[in-house]
Amino acid sequence: MNSPELNRRQLLTAGAAGLALAGMGSRSQAAEMNSEEEANVALVNAFCAAWSDNDLDALMTFFAEDGAYRMTETTELADGREAVAARIDSFLGNVERFDILDTFARGPMVVNERIDYFTDFAIKSWHGVGIFFIREGKIVDWYDYTIAMEQA
């Protein structure tokens, strides 16, 4: 991994929680989204909606070749398309649906608060914030941060 890529991912991880809190706390004062931001939100919303189909190939069409995914703030980064696919596949069959509670965008960053529901899994639901970095209509980075979990 080259240094600029590492720096972008380090910045994303370090600033994600602050971005989420700042944006969600000031929704009433938020600027109107531009067309790029609207497209990025639509992409993330479509991605979240696609989870209920449990189709790994369909989900992977949303990712860039150099995509990365961190399932929670305490899990290891799945770095690269194959690693992301393996991580998603490890629990995809247990996903019931994702319910988006709030979403906003700033440039290439999309932040969504959601509740993910599972069947036959260690947790019944996960409430958290997802931070997505979009490039050319594809997810490059997806990091999730936990607010609460309901054990099965």
Parse the chain into domains and list their residue ranges. Answer: 3-151
Whether this prediction's pTM lies above 0.95 is answered by no
Query: How far from 136 is each of 9, 74, 99, 103, 133, CA to CA, in Å?
Result: 17, 29, 25, 19, 10
Question: Tens-digit pLDDT profile for the chain (152 aa)?
Answer: 444 555 555 545 545 544 444 444 445 566 799 999 999 999 999 999 999 999 999 999 999 999 999 999 999 999 999 999 999 999 999 999 999 999 999 999 999 999 999 999 999 999 999 999 999 999 999 999 999 999 98
What pLDDT score does 31 carry? 77
What pLDDT score does 29 carry? 61
CATH architecture of 3-151: Roll (3.10)
C-alpha 37: how far from chain center = 15
C-alpha 73: how far from chain center = 12
